[in-house]
Amino acid sequence: MRKPSPIADVVMHPVRLRIIQHLGTRQVTTADLRAALPDIPQATLYRHVAALVDADILTIVEERRVRGAVERTFALGNRMAHVDHDELRDMGARELQQAFLTFLAHLGETFDRASAAGDPGFRDFLGFGEVQLHVTTDDLAVIQAGLGELLAPYLADDGGDRRTVTLATALIPGDRAARG
């Protein structure tokens, strides 16, 4: 029996994925989260935030008193908010399939919310596609490092006129027998 992947157990939940996505590289308060995720009941939201804090996915960067209550400000914690290769290798086939389907469902929900918002500029920022690459694991490491460097200037919200977009990636190995 394979050992379960704790970070996958925590992160691969639709509500928790939405919380992580909303945070991105920002710091947000509990009030910000409630405003950004109004369809999630407050008690449910707080329960999922607590699970993310317990798993060190989120960290509390500030606490302050607001009308007698403590308001917390959160940021992504020291653990990366994704499932790494070691954890992917440790997952059983069923667990891996569930994690991937959760990822796809979350991506679909993100698209549904964005397309339903009625924003006339929605399609100006929309794109999706697929391309097949012929790589080794070393090539993938180079590509991922290059993407990290390329995307770094766009990860922080500078408060200007830039718009937030979701860039999702999925690497799915092709069938070796089908090479040609």
In a domain, 75, yes or no: yes
In a domain, 122, yes or no: no
Q: Tell me the one-letter amino acid at 13.
A: H
Per-residue confidence band for 165, with pLDDT thresholds at 50, 70 and 90:
confident
In a domain, 1, yes or no: no
| Predicted local distance difference test score (pLDDT) of residue 5 | 46
For the segment 7-50, what is each residue's pLDDT rounded down to a tens digit? 777 777 888 888 988 887 678 999 999 999 999 999 999 999 99
| Predicted local distance difference test score (pLDDT) of residue 37 | 92
The string of DSSP codes covering the chain is -PPP-HHHHHHSSHHHHHHHHHHTTS-EEHHHHHHH-TTS-HHHHHHHHHHHHHTTSEEEEEEEEETTEEEEEEEE-SS-SS--HHHHHHS-HHHHHHHHHHHHHHHHHHHHHHHHT--TTGGGS-----------HHHHHHHHHHHHHHHGGGSS--SSS-----------PPPGGG--
| Predicted local distance difference test score (pLDDT) of residue 82 | 60
For the segment 13-22, what is each residue's pLDDT rounded down to a tens digit? 888 888 988 8
For the segment 90-143, what is each residue's pLDDT rounded down to a tens digit? 888 887 887 787 778 778 878 888 888 888 888 999 998 889 999 998 998 899
In a domain, 121, yes or no: no
Please give the model's pTM, rounded to 2 decimal places. Answer: 0.64
In a domain, 119, yes or no: no
Domain that holds residue 39: 6-114+127-178
Q: How many domains does the chain have?
A: 1
For the segment 61-92, what is each residue's pLDDT rounded down to a tens digit? 999 988 888 899 998 876 655 667 777 888 88
In a domain, 61, yes or no: yes
| Predicted local distance difference test score (pLDDT) of residue 25 | 67
| Predicted local distance difference test score (pLDDT) of residue 43 | 94
Phi, psi of 131 (to 5 degrees): -140, 145
Indicate which CATH number applies to the domain containing 166.
1.10.10.10
| Predicted local distance difference test score (pLDDT) of residue 74 | 92
| Predicted local distance difference test score (pLDDT) of residue 178 | 59
